Chain A
Protein backbone atom coordinates (compact mmCIF):
# COMPACT_ATOMS: atom_id res chain seq x y z
CA UNK A 1 0.00 0.00 0.00
CA UNK A 2 2.74 2.40 1.03
CA UNK A 3 4.65 1.57 -2.07
CA UNK A 4 1.61 2.31 -4.20
CA UNK A 5 1.17 5.71 -2.58
CA UNK A 6 4.79 6.56 -3.09
CA UNK A 7 4.48 5.53 -6.70
CA UNK A 8 1.47 7.78 -7.15
CA UNK A 9 3.24 10.76 -5.64
CA UNK A 10 6.22 10.22 -7.85
CA UNK A 11 3.95 10.02 -10.84
CA UNK A 12 2.29 13.28 -9.83
CA UNK A 13 5.58 15.14 -9.80
CA UNK A 14 6.52 13.59 -13.07
CA UNK A 15 3.19 14.57 -14.63
CA UNK A 16 3.58 18.17 -13.53
CA UNK A 17 6.99 18.20 -15.14
CA UNK A 18 5.67 16.66 -18.36
CA UNK A 19 2.78 19.11 -18.46
CA UNK A 20 5.12 22.07 -18.07
CA UNK A 21 7.36 20.72 -20.79
CA UNK A 22 4.49 20.22 -23.24
CA UNK A 23 3.18 23.63 -22.24
CA UNK A 24 6.44 25.24 -23.25
CA UNK A 25 6.36 23.30 -26.50
CA UNK A 26 2.76 24.44 -27.09
CA UNK A 27 3.77 28.05 -26.59
CA UNK A 28 6.50 27.70 -29.20
CA UNK A 29 3.90 26.11 -31.48
CA UNK A 30 1.33 28.88 -31.24
CA UNK A 31 3.86 31.70 -31.14
CA UNK A 32 4.24 32.30 -34.92
CA UNK A 33 0.47 32.72 -35.18
CA UNK A 34 0.31 35.08 -32.21
CA UNK A 35 3.23 37.05 -33.61
CA UNK A 36 1.44 37.43 -36.94
CA UNK A 37 -1.70 38.72 -35.24
CA UNK A 38 0.38 41.06 -33.06
CA UNK A 39 2.16 42.41 -36.13
CA UNK A 40 -1.16 42.94 -37.90
CA UNK A 41 -2.36 45.22 -35.11
CA UNK A 42 0.56 47.63 -35.41
CA UNK A 43 1.07 50.27 -38.06
CA UNK A 44 3.90 49.82 -40.51
CA UNK A 45 5.55 53.10 -39.55
CA UNK A 46 5.88 52.10 -35.91
CA UNK A 47 8.01 49.14 -36.82
CA UNK A 48 10.07 51.06 -39.33
CA UNK A 49 10.92 53.80 -36.87
CA UNK A 50 11.16 51.91 -33.60
CA UNK A 51 12.05 48.33 -34.55
CA UNK A 52 10.38 44.93 -34.39
CA UNK A 53 10.52 44.56 -30.62
CA UNK A 54 9.53 48.10 -29.77
CA UNK A 55 6.72 48.82 -27.32
CA UNK A 56 3.58 49.48 -29.39
CA UNK A 57 2.65 53.15 -29.62
CA UNK A 58 -0.47 52.45 -31.63
CA UNK A 59 -2.61 49.32 -31.67
CA UNK A 60 -5.63 49.28 -33.93
CA UNK A 61 -7.49 47.45 -36.64
CA UNK A 62 -6.45 49.84 -39.42
CA UNK A 63 -4.47 47.17 -41.23
CA UNK A 64 -7.57 44.97 -41.33
CA UNK A 65 -9.79 47.63 -42.89
CA UNK A 66 -7.00 48.52 -45.22
CA UNK A 67 -6.46 44.88 -46.22
CA UNK A 68 -10.11 44.45 -47.09
CA UNK A 69 -10.04 47.62 -49.16
CA UNK A 70 -6.79 47.47 -51.09
CA UNK A 71 -6.56 43.70 -51.43
CA UNK A 72 -10.20 43.34 -52.45
CA UNK A 73 -10.57 40.40 -50.10
CA UNK A 74 -14.38 40.39 -50.19
CA UNK A 75 -14.29 39.66 -53.89
CA UNK A 76 -11.83 36.79 -53.44
CA UNK A 77 -13.83 35.36 -50.55
CA UNK A 78 -16.82 35.17 -52.88
CA UNK A 79 -14.70 33.28 -55.43
CA UNK A 80 -13.79 30.80 -52.71
CA UNK A 81 -17.47 30.40 -51.89
CA UNK A 82 -18.31 29.66 -55.55
CA UNK A 83 -15.80 26.84 -55.55
CA UNK A 84 -16.08 25.41 -52.04
CA UNK A 85 -19.84 25.10 -51.60
CA UNK A 86 -20.64 23.26 -54.87
CA UNK A 87 -17.52 21.10 -54.56
CA UNK A 88 -18.35 19.95 -51.03
CA UNK A 89 -22.04 19.32 -51.79
CA UNK A 90 -21.27 17.42 -54.99
CA UNK A 91 -18.52 15.35 -53.36
CA UNK A 92 -20.76 14.30 -50.49
CA UNK A 93 -23.66 13.55 -52.84
CA UNK A 94 -21.67 11.40 -55.26
CA UNK A 95 -19.74 9.72 -52.45
CA UNK A 96 -22.96 8.80 -50.67
CA UNK A 97 -24.39 7.27 -53.86
CA UNK A 98 -21.49 4.86 -54.27
CA UNK A 99 -21.32 4.11 -50.55
CA UNK A 100 -25.06 3.37 -50.55
CA UNK A 101 -24.90 0.91 -53.44
CA UNK A 102 -21.75 -0.81 -52.21
CA UNK A 103 -23.00 -1.34 -48.68
CA UNK A 104 -26.63 -2.21 -49.43
CA UNK A 105 -26.51 -4.33 -52.58
CA UNK A 106 -24.19 -7.19 -53.29
CA UNK A 107 -22.77 -6.88 -56.75
CA UNK A 108 -19.66 -8.71 -57.75
CA UNK A 109 -17.82 -5.48 -58.53
CA UNK A 110 -18.46 -3.86 -55.13
CA UNK A 111 -14.99 -4.31 -53.74
CA UNK A 112 -13.24 -3.29 -56.96
CA UNK A 113 -15.39 -0.18 -57.06
CA UNK A 114 -14.48 0.73 -53.50
CA UNK A 115 -10.81 0.09 -54.26
CA UNK A 116 -10.99 2.28 -57.36
CA UNK A 117 -12.30 5.18 -55.32
CA UNK A 118 -10.09 4.74 -52.26
CA UNK A 119 -6.91 4.26 -54.27
CA UNK A 120 -7.81 7.25 -56.45
CA UNK A 121 -7.72 9.40 -53.36
CA UNK A 122 -4.08 8.46 -52.78
CA UNK A 123 -2.67 9.00 -56.27
CA UNK A 124 -0.05 11.73 -56.57
CA UNK A 125 -2.02 14.69 -57.90
CA UNK A 126 0.71 15.76 -60.31
CA UNK A 127 0.05 12.64 -62.33
CA UNK A 128 -3.14 14.19 -63.68
CA UNK A 129 -2.09 17.76 -64.26
CA UNK A 130 -1.11 17.84 -67.96
CA UNK A 131 -3.99 15.69 -69.27
CA UNK A 132 -6.61 17.52 -67.17
CA UNK A 133 -5.33 20.88 -68.39
CA UNK A 134 -5.37 19.69 -71.99
CA UNK A 135 -8.76 17.97 -71.60
CA UNK A 136 -10.32 21.16 -70.22
CA UNK A 137 -9.17 23.19 -73.18
CA UNK A 138 -10.28 20.57 -75.70
CA UNK A 139 -13.72 20.11 -74.11
CA UNK A 140 -14.09 23.88 -74.12
CA UNK A 141 -13.13 24.15 -77.78
CA UNK A 142 -15.47 21.31 -78.66
CA UNK A 143 -18.42 23.23 -77.24
CA UNK A 144 -17.15 26.44 -78.79
CA UNK A 145 -16.33 28.09 -75.48
CA UNK A 146 -12.77 27.71 -74.28
CA UNK A 147 -13.56 28.88 -70.78
CA UNK A 148 -16.26 26.28 -70.20
CA UNK A 149 -13.98 24.41 -67.80
CA UNK A 150 -10.61 26.14 -68.08
CA UNK A 151 -10.53 29.46 -66.26
CA UNK A 152 -13.95 28.66 -64.83
CA UNK A 153 -15.23 27.80 -61.35
CA UNK A 154 -16.87 24.68 -62.76
CA UNK A 155 -13.51 23.27 -63.80
CA UNK A 156 -12.00 23.77 -60.35
CA UNK A 157 -15.08 22.27 -58.71
CA UNK A 158 -14.84 19.14 -60.88
CA UNK A 159 -11.18 18.42 -60.09
CA UNK A 160 -11.81 18.90 -56.39
CA UNK A 161 -14.76 16.51 -56.55
CA UNK A 162 -12.74 13.93 -58.48
CA UNK A 163 -10.00 14.01 -55.86
CA UNK A 164 -12.11 14.14 -52.70
CA UNK A 165 -14.91 11.76 -53.64
CA UNK A 166 -12.72 8.73 -52.92
CA UNK A 167 -12.27 9.74 -49.32
CA UNK A 168 -15.96 10.53 -48.89
CA UNK A 169 -16.95 7.18 -50.40
CA UNK A 170 -14.60 5.32 -48.12
CA UNK A 171 -15.73 7.07 -44.93
CA UNK A 172 -19.43 6.87 -45.76
CA UNK A 173 -19.32 3.21 -46.75
CA UNK A 174 -17.56 2.21 -43.54
CA UNK A 175 -20.16 4.16 -41.59
CA UNK A 176 -23.02 2.60 -43.51
CA UNK A 177 -21.80 -0.87 -42.69
CA UNK A 178 -22.63 -0.12 -39.06
CA UNK A 179 -26.25 0.74 -39.90
CA UNK A 180 -28.40 -2.38 -39.30
CA UNK A 181 -29.52 -4.17 -42.45
CA UNK A 182 -33.03 -4.61 -41.00
CA UNK A 183 -33.75 -0.97 -41.73
CA UNK A 184 -33.10 -1.51 -45.41
CA UNK A 185 -35.02 -4.74 -45.47
CA UNK A 186 -38.13 -3.25 -44.02
CA UNK A 187 -37.89 -0.42 -46.54
CA UNK A 188 -37.71 -2.91 -49.38
CA UNK A 189 -40.57 -5.02 -48.00
CA UNK A 190 -42.63 -1.86 -47.84
CA UNK A 191 -42.01 -1.56 -51.55
CA UNK A 192 -39.76 1.49 -51.50
CA UNK A 193 -37.94 2.14 -54.77
CA UNK A 194 -34.14 2.29 -54.81
CA UNK A 195 -34.28 6.04 -54.90
CA UNK A 196 -36.64 6.29 -51.93
CA UNK A 197 -34.56 3.76 -50.05
CA UNK A 198 -31.56 6.02 -50.57
CA UNK A 199 -33.19 9.41 -50.13
CA UNK A 200 -35.77 8.83 -47.39
CA UNK A 201 -34.24 5.95 -45.45
CA UNK A 202 -30.46 6.00 -45.69
CA UNK A 203 -29.58 9.64 -46.22
CA UNK A 204 -31.14 10.89 -42.96
CA UNK A 205 -29.15 8.25 -41.09
CA UNK A 206 -25.94 9.53 -42.66
CA UNK A 207 -26.20 12.95 -41.08
CA UNK A 208 -23.33 12.57 -38.59
CA UNK A 209 -20.66 11.42 -41.08
CA UNK A 210 -21.92 13.86 -43.71
CA UNK A 211 -21.55 16.73 -41.25
CA UNK A 212 -18.07 15.55 -40.26
CA UNK A 213 -16.95 15.17 -43.86
CA UNK A 214 -18.57 18.46 -44.83
CA UNK A 215 -16.56 20.35 -42.24
CA UNK A 216 -13.32 18.61 -43.09
CA UNK A 217 -13.67 19.00 -46.85
CA UNK A 218 -14.74 22.62 -46.64
CA UNK A 219 -11.50 23.24 -44.82
CA UNK A 220 -9.39 21.31 -47.35
CA UNK A 221 -10.96 22.90 -50.40
CA UNK A 222 -10.90 26.35 -48.83
CA UNK A 223 -7.19 25.94 -48.15
CA UNK A 224 -6.24 24.73 -51.61
CA UNK A 225 -4.56 27.37 -53.71
CA UNK A 226 -2.95 25.12 -56.18
CA UNK A 227 -5.55 24.08 -58.72
CA UNK A 228 -6.60 27.68 -59.07
CA UNK A 229 -3.05 28.70 -59.95
CA UNK A 230 -2.98 26.10 -62.70
CA UNK A 231 -6.52 26.15 -64.05
CA UNK A 232 -7.43 29.82 -63.68
CA UNK A 233 -5.83 32.26 -66.07
CA UNK A 234 -7.48 35.37 -64.65
CA UNK A 235 -6.29 36.63 -61.27
CA UNK A 236 -9.68 38.09 -60.47
CA UNK A 237 -11.33 34.67 -60.52
CA UNK A 238 -8.95 33.04 -58.07
CA UNK A 239 -10.00 31.99 -54.57
CA UNK A 240 -8.79 33.91 -51.57
CA UNK A 241 -5.84 31.64 -50.71
CA UNK A 242 -4.37 31.89 -54.22
CA UNK A 243 -5.00 35.62 -54.18
CA UNK A 244 -3.14 35.93 -50.90
CA UNK A 245 -0.20 34.26 -52.53
CA UNK A 246 -0.28 36.78 -55.38
CA UNK A 247 -0.62 39.64 -52.93
CA UNK A 248 2.35 38.42 -50.98
CA UNK A 249 4.55 39.43 -53.87
CA UNK A 250 2.79 42.74 -54.26
CA UNK A 251 2.88 43.89 -50.63
CA UNK A 252 6.04 42.15 -49.51
CA UNK A 253 7.45 45.28 -47.90
CA UNK A 254 4.36 46.20 -45.90
CA UNK A 255 4.24 43.15 -43.76
CA UNK A 256 1.83 44.54 -41.23
CA UNK A 257 -0.76 44.77 -43.97
CA UNK A 258 0.12 41.30 -45.20
CA UNK A 259 -0.14 39.99 -41.63
CA UNK A 260 -3.65 41.40 -41.42
CA UNK A 261 -4.52 39.77 -44.77
CA UNK A 262 -3.14 36.42 -43.63
CA UNK A 263 -5.03 36.65 -40.33
CA UNK A 264 -8.29 37.39 -42.14
CA UNK A 265 -7.84 34.48 -44.53
CA UNK A 266 -6.84 32.13 -41.69
CA UNK A 267 -9.81 33.09 -39.52
CA UNK A 268 -12.57 31.01 -41.19
CA UNK A 269 -10.79 27.66 -40.88
CA UNK A 270 -9.57 28.32 -37.34
CA UNK A 271 -13.06 29.37 -36.24
CA UNK A 272 -14.55 26.37 -38.03
CA UNK A 273 -12.15 24.11 -36.20
CA UNK A 274 -12.74 25.67 -32.78
CA UNK A 275 -16.52 25.63 -33.13
CA UNK A 276 -17.02 22.29 -34.89
CA UNK A 277 -14.08 20.47 -33.42
CA UNK A 278 -16.03 17.27 -32.79
CA UNK A 279 -17.02 16.98 -36.45
CA UNK A 280 -13.52 17.81 -37.52
CA UNK A 281 -11.91 15.10 -35.49
CA UNK A 282 -14.49 12.44 -36.25
CA UNK A 283 -14.27 13.16 -39.98
CA UNK A 284 -10.56 12.63 -39.94
CA UNK A 285 -10.64 9.55 -37.77
CA UNK A 286 -13.60 7.83 -39.41
CA UNK A 287 -11.43 7.54 -42.45
CA UNK A 288 -8.27 6.42 -40.78
CA UNK A 289 -9.04 4.29 -37.77
CA UNK A 290 -11.62 1.92 -39.05
CA UNK A 291 -11.27 -1.55 -37.57
Chain B
Protein backbone atom coordinates (compact mmCIF):
# COMPACT_ATOMS: atom_id res chain seq x y z
CA UNK B 1 0.00 0.00 0.00
CA UNK B 2 1.29 3.38 -0.90
CA UNK B 3 1.11 6.04 1.73
CA UNK B 4 -0.14 9.47 0.84
CA UNK B 5 3.20 10.91 1.81
CA UNK B 6 5.05 8.79 -0.66
CA UNK B 7 2.96 10.10 -3.50
CA UNK B 8 3.43 13.69 -2.62
CA UNK B 9 6.53 15.60 -3.44
CA UNK B 10 8.73 16.56 -0.59
CA UNK B 11 7.06 19.51 1.01
CA UNK B 12 9.73 20.62 3.33
CA UNK B 13 10.85 23.97 2.12
CA UNK B 14 10.73 25.37 5.63
CA UNK B 15 12.82 22.55 7.01
CA UNK B 16 15.58 23.14 4.46
CA UNK B 17 18.80 24.43 5.91
CA UNK B 18 20.39 27.62 4.66
CA UNK B 19 22.97 25.66 2.77
CA UNK B 20 20.35 23.56 1.09
CA UNK B 21 18.36 26.58 0.09
CA UNK B 22 21.46 28.09 -1.42
CA UNK B 23 22.20 24.88 -3.35
CA UNK B 24 18.68 24.73 -4.70
CA UNK B 25 18.84 28.37 -5.78
CA UNK B 26 22.05 27.66 -7.67
CA UNK B 27 20.62 24.48 -9.22
CA UNK B 28 17.72 26.45 -10.62
CA UNK B 29 19.43 29.78 -11.11
CA UNK B 30 22.44 28.89 -13.25
CA UNK B 31 20.67 26.94 -16.01
CA UNK B 32 17.72 29.32 -16.04
CA UNK B 33 19.94 32.37 -16.29
CA UNK B 34 21.79 30.80 -19.21
CA UNK B 35 18.57 29.86 -20.93
CA UNK B 36 17.30 33.42 -20.54
CA UNK B 37 20.49 35.19 -21.59
CA UNK B 38 21.27 33.10 -24.65
CA UNK B 39 17.79 32.18 -25.79
CA UNK B 40 14.78 34.05 -24.50
CA UNK B 41 16.31 37.49 -24.22
CA UNK B 42 17.78 37.39 -27.76
CA UNK B 43 14.43 36.14 -29.07
CA UNK B 44 12.67 39.03 -27.37
CA UNK B 45 15.20 41.54 -28.67
CA UNK B 46 14.73 40.24 -32.21
CA UNK B 47 10.98 40.78 -31.88
CA UNK B 48 11.61 44.39 -30.83
CA UNK B 49 14.22 44.89 -33.54
CA UNK B 50 11.72 43.81 -36.17
CA UNK B 51 9.99 47.16 -35.57
CA UNK B 52 13.17 49.16 -36.18
CA UNK B 53 15.70 50.16 -38.82
CA UNK B 54 19.19 49.07 -37.90
CA UNK B 55 22.38 47.99 -39.63
CA UNK B 56 23.46 45.77 -36.75
CA UNK B 57 26.52 47.77 -35.71
CA UNK B 58 25.94 50.66 -33.28
CA UNK B 59 23.05 50.62 -30.86
CA UNK B 60 22.72 54.40 -31.22
CA UNK B 61 21.79 53.97 -34.89
CA UNK B 62 18.61 52.05 -34.10
CA UNK B 63 15.61 53.97 -35.40
CA UNK B 64 11.99 53.22 -34.76
CA UNK B 65 10.28 51.95 -37.91
CA UNK B 66 6.86 50.95 -36.67
CA UNK B 67 5.36 48.41 -39.02
CA UNK B 68 7.48 49.52 -41.98
CA UNK B 69 9.45 46.26 -42.21
CA UNK B 70 6.28 44.21 -42.18
CA UNK B 71 4.57 46.48 -44.70
CA UNK B 72 7.59 46.18 -46.92
CA UNK B 73 7.47 42.38 -46.68
CA UNK B 74 3.75 41.99 -47.24
CA UNK B 75 3.31 44.62 -49.96
CA UNK B 76 6.70 45.22 -51.53
CA UNK B 77 8.49 41.85 -51.55
CA UNK B 78 7.13 39.30 -54.02
CA UNK B 79 9.83 36.82 -53.00
CA UNK B 80 8.13 36.54 -49.60
CA UNK B 81 5.11 34.91 -51.22
CA UNK B 82 7.37 32.65 -53.23
CA UNK B 83 9.04 31.56 -50.00
CA UNK B 84 5.69 31.05 -48.34
CA UNK B 85 4.61 28.95 -51.29
CA UNK B 86 7.72 26.78 -51.00
CA UNK B 87 7.20 26.33 -47.27
CA UNK B 88 3.63 25.27 -47.96
CA UNK B 89 4.75 22.83 -50.68
CA UNK B 90 7.21 21.44 -48.14
CA UNK B 91 4.46 21.09 -45.55
CA UNK B 92 2.03 19.42 -47.96
CA UNK B 93 4.66 17.03 -49.26
CA UNK B 94 5.69 16.01 -45.75
CA UNK B 95 2.11 15.75 -44.52
CA UNK B 96 0.68 13.72 -47.36
CA UNK B 97 3.68 11.77 -48.55
CA UNK B 98 6.79 11.59 -46.36
CA UNK B 99 5.16 11.29 -42.93
CA UNK B 100 2.55 8.68 -44.00
CA UNK B 101 5.32 6.68 -45.70
CA UNK B 102 7.36 6.78 -42.49
CA UNK B 103 4.35 5.56 -40.51
CA UNK B 104 3.60 2.82 -43.01
CA UNK B 105 7.20 1.69 -42.89
CA UNK B 106 7.15 1.61 -39.10
CA UNK B 107 3.97 -0.43 -39.18
CA UNK B 108 5.42 -3.03 -41.55
CA UNK B 109 8.76 -3.21 -39.77
CA UNK B 110 6.97 -3.62 -36.45
CA UNK B 111 5.20 -6.68 -37.88
CA UNK B 112 8.65 -8.21 -38.10
CA UNK B 113 8.56 -8.86 -41.82
CA UNK B 114 11.61 -10.56 -43.25
CA UNK B 115 14.69 -8.36 -42.99
CA UNK B 116 13.04 -5.83 -40.69
CA UNK B 117 16.20 -5.28 -38.63
CA UNK B 118 18.40 -4.35 -41.56
CA UNK B 119 15.63 -2.22 -43.09
CA UNK B 120 15.25 -0.27 -39.89
CA UNK B 121 18.97 0.44 -39.80
CA UNK B 122 19.13 1.49 -43.44
CA UNK B 123 16.22 3.89 -43.22
CA UNK B 124 17.62 5.53 -40.15
CA UNK B 125 21.17 6.09 -41.39
CA UNK B 126 20.42 9.32 -43.34
CA UNK B 127 19.08 10.82 -40.11
CA UNK B 128 22.43 10.60 -38.33
CA UNK B 129 24.30 12.32 -41.16
CA UNK B 130 25.20 15.99 -41.07
CA UNK B 131 23.49 18.17 -43.67
CA UNK B 132 26.97 19.16 -44.80
CA UNK B 133 27.58 15.54 -45.79
CA UNK B 134 24.11 15.05 -47.25
CA UNK B 135 24.77 18.03 -49.52
CA UNK B 136 27.95 16.44 -50.83
CA UNK B 137 26.40 13.00 -51.29
CA UNK B 138 23.50 14.33 -53.33
CA UNK B 139 25.73 16.57 -55.33
CA UNK B 140 27.60 13.45 -56.39
CA UNK B 141 24.40 11.81 -57.42
CA UNK B 142 23.07 14.74 -59.39
CA UNK B 143 25.96 16.81 -60.70
CA UNK B 144 27.33 16.59 -64.25
CA UNK B 145 29.32 13.37 -64.42
CA UNK B 146 27.39 11.99 -61.44
CA UNK B 147 25.31 8.86 -61.18
CA UNK B 148 21.88 10.20 -62.11
CA UNK B 149 23.20 12.03 -65.15
CA UNK B 150 25.01 8.87 -66.16
CA UNK B 151 21.82 6.85 -65.94
CA UNK B 152 20.09 9.49 -68.03
CA UNK B 153 22.80 8.92 -70.62
CA UNK B 154 24.35 12.37 -70.29
CA UNK B 155 28.07 12.75 -69.81
CA UNK B 156 29.79 15.87 -68.51
CA UNK B 157 29.57 17.63 -71.85
CA UNK B 158 25.81 17.61 -72.27
CA UNK B 159 24.61 17.33 -68.66
CA UNK B 160 21.35 18.91 -67.57
CA UNK B 161 21.43 21.32 -64.67
CA UNK B 162 19.23 19.77 -62.02
CA UNK B 163 19.49 22.42 -59.32
CA UNK B 164 18.92 25.20 -61.81
CA UNK B 165 15.95 23.63 -63.52
CA UNK B 166 12.81 25.08 -62.03
CA UNK B 167 10.48 22.39 -63.26
CA UNK B 168 12.31 19.63 -61.40
CA UNK B 169 14.31 21.15 -58.57
CA UNK B 170 11.29 21.29 -56.26
CA UNK B 171 10.81 17.53 -56.59
CA UNK B 172 14.50 16.89 -56.14
CA UNK B 173 14.67 19.02 -53.00
CA UNK B 174 11.57 17.34 -51.60
CA UNK B 175 13.04 13.95 -52.42
CA UNK B 176 16.27 14.65 -50.57
CA UNK B 177 14.38 16.17 -47.63
CA UNK B 178 12.22 13.05 -47.45
CA UNK B 179 15.33 10.91 -47.50
CA UNK B 180 15.95 12.18 -43.97
CA UNK B 181 12.43 12.78 -42.74
CA UNK B 182 10.98 9.32 -43.44
CA UNK B 183 13.56 7.53 -41.30
CA UNK B 184 13.04 9.95 -38.43
CA UNK B 185 9.27 9.50 -38.44
CA UNK B 186 9.67 5.75 -38.80
CA UNK B 187 11.81 5.54 -35.69
CA UNK B 188 9.50 7.68 -33.57
CA UNK B 189 6.47 5.68 -34.64
CA UNK B 190 8.22 2.36 -34.20
CA UNK B 191 8.95 3.15 -30.57
CA UNK B 192 5.28 3.89 -30.00
CA UNK B 193 4.17 0.74 -31.78
CA UNK B 194 6.40 -1.41 -29.61
CA UNK B 195 4.39 -0.38 -26.58
CA UNK B 196 1.11 -1.59 -28.10
CA UNK B 197 -0.09 -4.91 -26.73
CA UNK B 198 0.36 -7.45 -29.54
CA UNK B 199 -2.69 -9.42 -28.42
CA UNK B 200 -4.86 -6.52 -29.54
CA UNK B 201 -3.61 -7.00 -33.04
CA UNK B 202 -3.87 -10.78 -33.01
CA UNK B 203 -7.44 -10.56 -31.77
CA UNK B 204 -8.44 -8.34 -34.64
CA UNK B 205 -6.69 -10.64 -37.13
CA UNK B 206 -8.63 -13.62 -35.78
CA UNK B 207 -11.84 -11.63 -36.08
CA UNK B 208 -11.07 -11.39 -39.75
CA UNK B 209 -10.19 -7.71 -39.90
CA UNK B 210 -8.09 -6.75 -42.88
CA UNK B 211 -4.75 -5.20 -42.22
CA UNK B 212 -5.96 -1.78 -43.20
CA UNK B 213 -8.91 -2.08 -40.82
CA UNK B 214 -6.59 -3.16 -38.01
CA UNK B 215 -4.34 -0.22 -38.66
CA UNK B 216 -7.13 2.33 -38.83
CA UNK B 217 -9.38 1.06 -36.05
CA UNK B 218 -6.81 -0.29 -33.59
CA UNK B 219 -3.36 1.13 -34.17
CA UNK B 220 -4.07 4.75 -35.04
CA UNK B 221 -6.40 5.48 -32.08
CA UNK B 222 -4.04 3.81 -29.56
CA UNK B 223 -1.15 5.84 -30.93
CA UNK B 224 -2.84 9.19 -30.35
CA UNK B 225 -0.07 10.79 -28.24
CA UNK B 226 2.59 9.82 -30.77
CA UNK B 227 0.38 10.97 -33.63
CA UNK B 228 0.14 14.45 -32.16
CA UNK B 229 3.89 14.66 -31.72
CA UNK B 230 4.49 13.53 -35.27
CA UNK B 231 2.03 16.10 -36.61
CA UNK B 232 3.82 18.82 -34.63
CA UNK B 233 7.26 17.68 -35.79
CA UNK B 234 6.10 17.59 -39.40
CA UNK B 235 4.68 21.12 -39.24
CA UNK B 236 7.60 22.66 -37.38
CA UNK B 237 10.21 20.96 -39.56
CA UNK B 238 8.44 22.23 -42.67
CA UNK B 239 8.24 25.79 -41.37
CA UNK B 240 11.81 26.05 -40.23
CA UNK B 241 13.23 24.10 -43.16
CA UNK B 242 16.52 25.66 -44.05
CA UNK B 243 19.79 23.69 -43.93
CA UNK B 244 19.28 21.55 -46.99
CA UNK B 245 18.37 24.44 -49.26
CA UNK B 246 21.13 26.58 -47.78
CA UNK B 247 23.63 23.82 -48.60
CA UNK B 248 22.48 23.82 -52.21
CA UNK B 249 21.84 27.49 -52.94
CA UNK B 250 23.48 29.46 -50.12
CA UNK B 251 21.58 32.63 -49.28
CA UNK B 252 20.50 33.24 -52.85
CA UNK B 253 16.78 33.16 -53.45
CA UNK B 254 16.87 30.58 -56.22
CA UNK B 255 14.46 28.45 -54.18
CA UNK B 256 13.43 30.75 -51.30
CA UNK B 257 12.15 29.64 -47.92
CA UNK B 258 11.19 31.89 -45.01
CA UNK B 259 14.30 30.89 -43.13
CA UNK B 260 16.49 31.58 -46.14
CA UNK B 261 15.06 35.11 -46.34
CA UNK B 262 15.95 35.67 -42.69
CA UNK B 263 19.52 34.77 -43.46
CA UNK B 264 19.68 36.74 -46.62
CA UNK B 265 18.89 39.84 -44.55
CA UNK B 266 21.14 38.91 -41.64
CA UNK B 267 24.18 37.46 -43.28
CA UNK B 268 24.15 38.90 -46.76
CA UNK B 269 25.65 42.15 -47.97
CA UNK B 270 24.16 44.41 -45.33
CA UNK B 271 22.23 43.57 -42.19
CA UNK B 272 18.61 44.66 -42.35
CA UNK B 273 15.92 44.31 -39.73
CA UNK B 274 13.61 42.98 -42.39
CA UNK B 275 15.33 39.73 -41.45
CA UNK B 276 14.09 40.16 -37.89
CA UNK B 277 10.58 40.67 -39.22
CA UNK B 278 10.84 37.47 -41.26
CA UNK B 279 12.02 35.64 -38.14
CA UNK B 280 9.01 36.95 -36.21
CA UNK B 281 6.64 35.84 -38.98
CA UNK B 282 8.22 32.41 -38.71
CA UNK B 283 7.73 32.44 -34.95
CA UNK B 284 4.07 33.39 -35.28
CA UNK B 285 3.53 30.47 -37.66
CA UNK B 286 5.30 28.10 -35.25
CA UNK B 287 3.42 29.16 -32.11
CA UNK B 288 0.31 27.06 -32.85
CA UNK B 289 2.14 23.74 -33.19
CA UNK B 290 4.44 24.58 -30.25
CA UNK B 291 1.44 25.17 -27.97
CA UNK B 292 -0.21 21.99 -29.24
CA UNK B 293 2.93 20.07 -28.38
CA UNK B 294 3.29 21.59 -24.92
CA UNK B 295 -0.35 20.94 -24.11
CA UNK B 296 -0.03 17.34 -25.22
CA UNK B 297 3.14 16.74 -23.28
CA UNK B 298 2.16 18.46 -20.05
CA UNK B 299 -1.48 17.39 -20.08
CA UNK B 300 -1.39 15.79 -16.64
CA UNK B 301 0.69 18.50 -15.03
CA UNK B 302 -1.55 21.27 -16.27
CA UNK B 303 -4.60 19.83 -14.54
Contact = CB atoms under 8 A, between A and B. Distances in A.
A201 interface: no
B20 A193 contact: yes
A79 B114 CA distance: 43
B262 A225 contact: no
Interface string B1-14: 00001111111110
A116 B45 CA distance: 17
A63 interface: no
Given A265-B133, A269-B128, A105 B188 contact: no
Contacts of A125: 240
B103 to A, nearest CB: 14
Given A98-B32, A262-B136, A127 B42 contact: yes
Contact of A119 (B131, B139, B208, B290): B290
A262 B133 contact: yes
B30 A97 contact: yes
Nearest to B195: A289
Given A15-B114, A288-B188, A288-B229, A273 B124 contact: yes
B296 to A, nearest CB: 8
B161 interface: no
A128 B46 contact: yes
B229 A115 contact: no
Contacts of A133: 56
A161 interface: yes
Contacts of A270: 125, 128-129
A88 B27 CA distance: 18
A94 B119 contact: no
B38 A132 contact: yes
A55 interface: no
Interface residues of A, number: 106
Contact of B7 (A39, A181, A266, A285): A181
Interface in B43-83: 43, 45-47, 49, 56
Contacts of B13: 105, 107
Given A106-B9, A259-B140, A273 B128 contact: yes
A16 B114 contact: yes
Contacts of A105: 9-10, 13, 24
A193 B22 CA distance: 11
Nearest to B243: A226
Contacts of A224: 130
Contacts of B279: 124, 126-127, 129
Interface string A51-68: 111000000000000000
Interface stretch (A27-35, A140-148, A203-211): A27-35
A101 B46 contact: no
A32 B125 contact: no
B146 to A, nearest CB: 7
A274 B243 contact: no
B157 to A, nearest CB: 12
B88 interface: no
A117 interface: yes
Given A219-B128, A289-B192, A262 B119 contact: no
Interface of A: 4, 7, 15-16, 18-19, 22-23, 26, 29-30, 32-33, 35-36, 39, 47, 51-53, 94-95, 97-98, 100-101, 103-107, 111, 113-120, 122-135, 158-159, 161-163, 165-166, 169-170, 180-182, 184-185, 188, 193-195, 198, 219, 222-226, 230, 241-242, 244-245, 248, 255, 258-259, 261-262, 265-266, 269-270, 272-274, 277, 280-281, 284-285, 288-291
Given A111-B298, A291-B299, 5 more contacts: A51-B155, A123-B283, A158-B34, A224-B130, A230-B267
